[in-house]
Amino acid sequence: MSAELRTISIPTRKVPANLLTARRKRHGSAYVCIVCSLPMPQPKFMCHVIEGGSSALHVEDEDRYRPDGGDMCFLPLGSDCLRLHPELKPYAHKVQPGTIG
Ligand SMILES: [Zn+2]
């Protein structure tokens, strides 16, 4: 029997609506930070979001994860939000420059 996968509830951060609007105008909204919803055209970090978007999977448990209906795949995590939520660090995959876009 394998141990339970480590997951963390993804926190949310409210950003001013006018900032959100301005960023969306500039970057579109296809790719947004999982914490603050600001567009992240070139994210430095990604989280493997599971359970329909509510949780992130621990980096070291990636190998043991079996995708189910709640698998949202890899989504951006903004550097600011990571700094504000250091508890997310073990759940953030560093993006190699040039692998996205
Ligand atoms: Zn963010």
Using CA atoms, how far apart are residues 47 and 66, in angstroms rounded to an integer? 16
- The total number of residues written for the chain in this structure: 101
Cα 37 to averaged position of ligand 1 atoms, centre (Å): 6
Please write the tens of the pLDDT for every residue from 69-96. Answer: 999 999 999 999 999 999 999 999 999 8
Cα 69 to averaged position of ligand 1 atoms, centre (Å): 25
Cα 86 to averaged position of ligand 1 atoms, centre (Å): 13
Q: What's the pTM? A: 0.89
Instruction: Please report which confidence band the pLDDT of residue 29 belongs to, taking 50, 70 and 90 as the band edges.
Output: confident
Please write the tens of the pLDDT for every residue from 56-69. Answer: 999 999 999 999 99
Cα 55 to averaged position of ligand 1 atoms, centre (Å): 15
Specify the pLDDT at position 97: 75
Q: Do residues 100 and 42 touch, judged by C-beta distance below 8 A?
A: yes
Please list, in sequence order, all residues whose beta carbon lies within 8 angstroms of the beta carbon of residue 63, skipping any fewer than 6 positions away. none
Specify the pLDDT at position 99: 64
3-state secondary structure at position 79: helix
Cα 1 to averaged position of ligand 1 atoms, centre (Å): 36
Name the residue ranges covered by the structural domains of the chain.
7-94
Is 2 a residue whose pLDDT tops 60?
Answer: no
